[in-house]
Amino acid sequence: MKYYYVIAAALLSFFTPTVAQACSVVDDYRVPTNLELTGQSELILRGRVIGEVEGESSWDGKLLVEPLMALKGEMPKGTVEISGARLVPMPDERGFGLLSNPYQLEGAHPLSYIGGCLRYMFPKGTTVLFFLEEREGEWSPSGGPFSRWAEDVLDADSPWIRLSRFYASVPTDDATRRKTVLEAERDRLWKLSEDPVAALMAQDIERQLVGPNEPWNAIMRKAIEGEAEAPAGAEGEVAAESLASLIMEAIAEDDYETTCFTDQNGDEVCEAEVTLGAQADVMEEELGMVCDLLDDRRTVDCDGVRYVRESKPS
């Protein structure tokens, strides 16, 4: 039998999953395709992050953006304030200032999957393509949970900007015409056989032709149960959920070992090794995740998925 040591496993054996994540979606929620996101947005803006307006809480602040180019909508004349977004706290000890992969055209920025369902933190100075809609007189993220509403872009000719500009030109009121335009551009890009970026763009257009995405919760269930690949960008969340399931199965079967010792402060510390059985090999990389014990000494956070102690197994 293969065993793995899970960091913070001292308490994981006594924890059960809870909906302590910052965000969840209803069962029929579908992440908008890139074409749908473009159609839903009132303003698609390439802008440089220059600061923030702090609010009473991290969710009340506004991100300050210098407009550089509008792909859709009227070009703003001055600084744009985006509600519900903020700068990455400094020092950035947890790496929240990670920039978007310029060749990832399907999944959202990794911060979308750590509990907030939307990217809401940005490093100062980065240039981003924002998809926005106006709510109560303020610019806000468009698209909903896990959408690509805000991705870093290297320059005005980056693959994501080129795709977004094309999607903004696609007819929305004539399905037949829309399909014809999408197919023509896809085929044109496929013919650029020596251009790997063109191939990535063609693949994304193909995804738009397939149609609406499956419901997010259905996609995640399949991924967690190993019936399908994790959605692009959500690999960490799937890994954490899978880890939780394996730990809970081990607890239910009383299949864990606990070792206790006294630390240098005289406190008793118990560590647990959980048997993961046949799925251990495929989980090897995922189990490299660090799980943090939070200050309340009751909650463990594994990449945004939290476990709250309820009772010790008998």
Residues 51 and 12 in one domain: no
Q: Where are the beta strands (DSSP E) in 43-147?
A: 43-53, 62-72, 80-83, 86-87, 121-122, 127-135, 138-141
> Could you report how far apart the first and last alpha carbons of the chain are, in Å?
23
Write out residues in the chain with pLDDT < 70, as ranges: 1-23, 58, 115, 236, 239-260, 263, 267-314
For residue 287, the model assigns a pLDDT of 42
Residue 53's identity, in one-letter code, is: V
Structure tokens at 221: 């269930």
226 is a domain residue: no
Q: What is the pLDDT of residue 1?
A: 24
d(CA 252, CA 13) in angstroms, rounded, equals 10
Same domain, 113 and 198: yes
AA identity, residue 155: D
Query: What is the predicted pLDDT for the residue at 220?
Result: 87
Is 224 contained in some domain?
A: no
Q: 208-226 burial by CB neighbour count: b if 16+ within 10 A, else e?
A: beeeebebbeebbebbbee
pLDDT of residue 301: 62
Looking at residue 251, its pLDDT comes to: 56
51 and 126 belong to one structural domain: yes
- The domain boundary, picked from 195, 210, 225, lies at 210
What is the domain count for the chain? 2
The pLDDT value given to residue 9: 32
Domain extent at residue 199: 34-210
Contact between residue 23 and residue 117 where contact means Cβ atoms under 8 Å apart:
yes
